[in-house]
Amino acid sequence: MTKVYAVLLLQEAVDDLRRLEDFAIERELTIDTPDWTLPQRALDAIREGMRLLSWSPHTCRRAELGNGRSRELVIPFGARGCVVLFEVVGDEVVVGADRHQRAENDRH
């Protein structure tokens, strides 16, 4: 039987998701032929990707930064995607941050 984990988003992660949505909307505002379905499709891709955390969080790679228990899930979308940072605590997966991969790459 597969173990099921409860996935909890910290307020910081919820705020990050709002920023990612705002980023997608702002990007569409700058182009001549905006795709107004893109922001919702991006959020749907993130939601679908995070489903993995409810049944197989330990398959995700260990995060380079953190306390040694941190992991990251890369969710592809378009040319980049996002990185979800989380920890497994007992039967819970605690999501602390969601970052656009461009932001992750800009840090290095």
User: For the chain, where are the E strands, in sequence order?
Assistant: 6-9, 61-62, 70-75, 82-89, 92-100
Domain with residues 6-107, CATH architecture: 2-Layer Sandwich (3.30)
Per-residue model confidence (pLDDT) at position 89:
94
Tell me the backbone φ, ψ of residue 14, rounded to 5 degrees. -65, -45
Whether residue 108 is predicted with pLDDT greater than 60 in this model: the reply is no
Tens of pLDDT, residue by residue over 3-56, are: 899 999 999 999 999 998 898 899 899 999 999 898 889 889 999 999 999 999
Per-residue model confidence (pLDDT) at position 102:
61
For the sheet with 6-9, list strands across it. Answer: 6-9, 92-100, 82-89, 70-75, 61-62
Per-residue model confidence (pLDDT) at position 104:
43
What is the rounded distance in angstroms from the CA atom of residue 79 to the CA atom of residue 94?
27
